[in-house]
Structure 1
Amino acid sequence: MGQQNKPVPVIAIFDVGKTNKKLFLFDEQYHIVFERTARFTETVDEDGDPCENLESLRLSIFDSLREVFKNPKFEVKSINFTTYGASLVYIDKDGQPLAPLYNYLKPYPEELKHQFYAKYGGEESFANTTASPVLGSLNSGLQLYRIKQEKPELFEQIKYALHLPQYLSYLISGAVYSDLTSIGCHTALWDFEKQDYHKWVKAEGILDKLAPVAPSDHVMPAAFPGNNYAVGIGFHDSSAALIPYLINFQEPFILLSTGTWCISMNPFNSDPLTVDELKNDCLCYLQFEGKPVKASRVFAGYEHEQQIKRIAAHFGGDVISYRNAVFDPGIIELLRKNPEPDDEPKVEPSSGTINESLFSKRKLSDYATDLIAYHQLMLDLIAQQYHATQMVLKGTTVKRIFVDGGFSKNAIFMNLLSAAFPELEVFAASMAQATAVGAALAIHKSWNSKALPNDIIQLKFYSAAQHHY
């Protein structure tokens, strides 16, 4: 009888996205046994640009942990964090934030950008060495450079600049660290050739503001006395989502992670980026073991949202119904016979991958029904997706593509993708909360007495052989 009331050993994972902030508890079989979601109103920085409300985030973390610790059903063994990247929290000697959490979409001053790249070897060569396309504030290292130039008195006060996952970890552990998955995500901080910080980081006095790098499976005791749980150092979300796949599959694969951005990640391609790839929005991440992962991205989820609104408005249809539309090979065959419009968007070297699909140029009056128009949209998105995935695929021994996220549930997307890559095995992969599971798996040994699970990813195979067009 006493056995039933024994608390379940769990790990708590905070998964902080731009919109939703989630807390999950996983048991030792990696089942979600508790879940809580919060959303906060954004605030603004001193220039009036929108930014994350850091204080709400901090309070929410302490509140939800308090709730979990009070619950007699669970025994928290470890805590870890995964958040969006390219965002830094600047803390003073007492650990207090000194500035807003500047948004990575904040416009970057052109003059400062030119000054920086002119000083460090030009855009092309610098972007190549750091595997960081020129992205302004999305290169988080340049956010620090900006503070040094524009707000020297603030720069002086900064004891540490921590990427967001490491700041959240610091709140609980009181220990400051940097982590390779955050440093390796287009920050302009890391020299991928030397596998160390780029020389500008030291030259500008930035290195002194960065906490020591710790391995991703490093855990610390909690700062609160009387608690015996471990705290991980946190992860960049794109890298965390890759971990379950790296642990489960030994054969080379590409993970196509679909959401607002559709990111093709190839952990089996460590060739240095070419100038051409950088211009086409390719980059390198560092995965949790510190190895480079070549990645390319398309703004396809966003484009899909915009265009289905256009289709629905024109045909009087329902946006929701398109997502569950049934794949119709007959429609595809018909559409493939249509001549292409002349003004096909070209990939301009300066603009990177075409982020608007060809579909945005098409006249909806050319289509008899909304379903035909929707199939055309998916054809156009797959043409872009093929181009982006091909960039990280070529020259490697990859035989499989795993698709996770929103498009993995879209039958038209999946069928067209398998037709676009007939020589590869294409799978829709479903796993509840891949990012959070990855952050838990990374520190498995710190909290879990059982073997690593091998059944947390469900796969559905899409065969190109089914297509006769």
Structure 2
Amino acid sequence: MSGATDGTTDATLVLDIGKTNVKLVLLDAAGAVLAERRSPNTILTDGPYPHHDVERIWHWMLDGMTEFSSLATIGAIVPVTHGATAALVDDDGLVLPVLDYEFEPPAAQAATYQALRPAYDTTCSPLLPAGLNLGRQLAWQAQTFPAEFAQANHLLMYPQYWAWRLSGVAAGEVTSLGCHTDLWQPARQQYSQLVERMGWNALLPPLQPAWAPLGPLKAALLAHTGLPASCQVICGIHDSNASLLRHLAAVDGVAQPAVLSTGTWVIAAAPGKPLDGLRERSDMLANTNALGQAVACIRFMGGREFGELAGADVQTCTVEDLQRLIDQQTMALPCFSQAGGPFAGRTGSITGPAPVDARQRYALATLYCVLVSDYCLAQLGADGAVVVEGSYTGNPWFAPLLAALRPGQAISSTDDTSGTTCGGWMLHHWGSAPAVRSSVAAPLVLNGWSAYRSHWLAALQEAL
């Protein structure tokens, strides 16, 4: 079945794999959402190490593709995924499970890898815990499973793994390669010394632009899903770079805004800012955007930390709840995740009277994430407009509180909670941007809010 029941043609199907959730989103030719399905992104603990349940995602995705094929004529499928993840494949499929980057390889391997990894000033890729440096994952797999590793024909970044499964075409792409992997030199736009040292060049397929059509779906998938033969599989992109896409170009001479891409990770990106201010110890890095340009970034696991502070019983707070915590100096000090960030290695704590209910916990989580985001923007020297993308746009207090701390800067939020989906649509319609509205936040000026930030920063210094 290839015809659209509602007349929609050239629709885009975005496979959006975040660290916490997986989404399949159908968008029309103007970028409006026609249908969406989502599922948790589960980790399996059987086998040789914790790994992604790619087969469950695969069958869930095929079911969704079949369902959506009756809603519109789908012209393209675009994979968008989280970073720090890769797949080793031969002609038949995976030779090793897709490793979960939160898995910590044995401590003895850390020293070995430290001697292998390139210098920070060549990769702008900070040394990170667990498997957040993709190079460390791959070096451990090569050492621990040499026979399986030797079977691989291709080393695929995670978006391109899904594109390969759909189309049969192997490709590389710079946004995932340039995401704190230790594999890429963003300033030179070429592979790092680690790739040479490990002999991985032959495994890395030819580079393609994120927006490049790799080819049609495999014939068996066309028959299974009912998608049209004209449907193309797009190369795909790293998720925070998908959020950045619509902000890549200056408009009417106005400088590119800084972007806060929010989800499981909060990634602050400052296009156009120099890289010489990046510091490895603060988990600052250069991502590589879809055009191959290095972008100064800093990040923290803001979605995970918000969840830890807010708890399972999430109830949106009121202005009075925020003011009460500020008045009584209840503060959350970083950090509440062990996955890197500018305060990596610290153990989170709450000072002052503890929150008494779900609303106050939500308020504390909000205050904390605003303060860490503000800190990250300051480290990047982001002194112009700031755009908030993703899950934090659903928090009514986040942008107004941030705006109150940064007078003179326009802090705006987009009207969609998933900039990644928008970016996926743009890859199918390269050169176009959907009509996404954004609104500049009015500062929420609470009594003592600026002083609260000063006390929070002072408490961080005392903890050093």
Q: TM-score higher than 0.5 here?
A: yes
In the alignment, what sits opposite 1:288?
Answer: 290
In the alignment, what sits opposite 1:269?
Answer: 273
Structure 1 307/153 Cα, relative in aligned 2: closer, same or farther at 3 Å?
A: same
**Distance (Å, rounded) in 1 between the aligned partners of 2:334 and 2:436:** 41
**Partner of 2:230: helix, strand, or coil?**
coil
**Distance (Å, rounded) in 2 between the aligned partners of 1:345 and 1:54:** 33
In the alignment, what sits opposite 1:66?
Answer: 66
In the alignment, what sits opposite 1:104?
Answer: 101
**Distance (Å, rounded) in 1 between the aligned partners of 2:327 and 2:357:** 13
Q: Is the 8 A contact 1:403 1:427 kept in 2?
A: yes
In the alignment, what sits opposite 1:84?
Answer: 82
1:410 aligns to 2:392 (yes or no) = no
Task: Map 1:218-229; keep pairs closer than 5 Å.
Answer: 218-224=212-218, 227-229=229-231
Residues 145-196 of structure 1 show CA distances to partners (whole Å, capped at 9, x for unaligned) of 1122222211211111111110110112211001111001011101234321
Q: Is the 8 A contact 2:31 2:435 kept in 1?
A: no
Q: Which runs of 5+ in 2 are unaligned?
A: 220-227, 449-464
**Partner of 1:416: helix, strand, or coil?**
helix
Q: 2:351 aligns with which of 355, 362, 370?
A: 362
In the alignment, what sits opposite 2:115?
Answer: 118
**Partner of 1:90: helix, strand, or coil?**
strand
Task: Map 1:311-322; keep pairs closer than 5 Å.
Answer: 319-321=313-315
In the alignment, what sits opposite 2:21?
Answer: 20
Q: Is the 8 A contact 1:273 1:283 kept in 2?
A: no
Q: Is the 8 A contact 1:404 1:429 kept in 2?
A: yes
**Distance (Å, rounded) in 2 between the aligned partners of 1:162 and 1:204:** 16
Q: Is the 8 A contact 1:170 1:176 kept in 2?
A: yes
In the alignment, what sits opposite 1:176?
Answer: 170
- Which one has a larger percent helix, Structure 1 or Structure 2? 1
- State the shift of 1:37 in Å: 2.2
Letter in 2 for 1:361: I
**Distance (Å, rounded) in 2 between the aligned partners of 1:101 and 1:117:** 23
Letter in 2 for 1:111: A
**Distance (Å, rounded) in 1 between the aligned partners of 2:347 and 2:200:** 43
Letter in 2 for 1:455: A
Q: Which runs of 5+ in 1 are unaligned?
A: 310-317, 446-450
Q: 1:419 aligns with which of 404, 408, 432?
A: 404
Residues 62-105 of structure 1 show CA distances to partners (whole Å, capped at 9, x for unaligned) of 33323333x1x41111111101111111111x141111111001
The two structures have a TM-score, normalised by structure 1, of 0.81
- State the shift of 1:371 in Å: 6.4
In the alignment, what sits opposite 1:315?
Answer: none
**Partner of 1:462: helix, strand, or coil?**
coil
In the alignment, what sits opposite 2:207?
Answer: 213
Letter in 2 for 1:283: L
**Distance (Å, rounded) in 1 between the aligned partners of 2:93 and 2:144:** 21
Structure 1 137/330 Cα, relative in aligned 2: closer, same or farther at 3 Å?
A: closer
- State the shift of 1:212 in Å: 1.1
Q: Is the 8 A contact 1:331 1:375 kept in 2?
A: no
**Distance (Å, rounded) in 1 between the aligned partners of 2:394 and 2:66:** 36
Structure 1 85/344 Cα, relative in aligned 2: closer, same or farther at 3 Å?
A: closer
Q: Is the 8 A contact 1:254 1:265 kept in 2?
A: yes
1:202 aligns to 2:182 (yes or no) = no
**Distance (Å, rounded) in 1 between the aligned partners of 2:77 and 2:198:** 35
Q: Is the 8 A contact 1:299 1:355 kept in 2?
A: no
**Distance (Å, rounded) in 2 between the aligned partners of 1:95 and 1:260:** 32
1:156 aligns to 2:158 (yes or no) = no
Residues 110-165 of structure 1 show CA distances to partners (whole Å, capped at 9, x for unaligned) of 322212322456xxxx2332122212411112222112222221121111111111
In the alignment, what sits opposite 1:51?
Answer: 51
**Distance (Å, rounded) in 2 between the aligned partners of 1:297 and 1:20:** 19
In the alignment, what sits opposite 2:438?
Answer: 458
**Distance (Å, rounded) in 2 between the aligned partners of 1:196 and 1:3:** 43
Percent identical across equivalent pairs? 24
- State the shift of 1:238 in Å: 1.0
**Partner of 2:314: helix, strand, or coil?**
helix
Residues 187-213 of structure 1 show CA distances to partners (whole Å, capped at 9, x for unaligned) of 110123432101221221111111111
Q: Is the 8 A contact 1:324 1:411 kept in 2?
A: no
Q: How many residues align?
A: 432
**Distance (Å, rounded) in 2 between the aligned partners of 1:289 and 1:36:** 30
Which of these two proteins has the greater Rg computed from alpha carbons? 1
Residues 268-307 of structure 1 show CA distances to partners (whole Å, capped at 9, x for unaligned) of 2242454xx2111111111111111111112333333222
1:251 aligns to 2:274 (yes or no) = no
**Distance (Å, rounded) in 1 between the aligned partners of 2:346 and 2:367:** 10
Q: Is the 8 A contact 1:255 1:403 kept in 2?
A: yes
User: RMSD between aligned alpha carbons?
Assistant: 3.3
- State the shift of 1:390 in Å: 0.8
Q: Is the 8 A contact 1:324 1:410 kept in 2?
A: no
- State the shift of 1:18 in Å: 2.9
Structure 1 332/378 Cα, relative in aligned 2: closer, same or farther at 3 Å?
A: same
**Distance (Å, rounded) in 2 between the aligned partners of 1:459 and 1:31:** 18
**Partner of 1:402: helix, strand, or coil?**
strand
- State the shift of 1:420 in Å: 1.5
Q: 1:75 aligns with which of 73, 76, 82?
A: 73
**Distance (Å, rounded) in 1 between the aligned partners of 2:42 and 2:334:** 37
Letter in 1 for 2:404: A
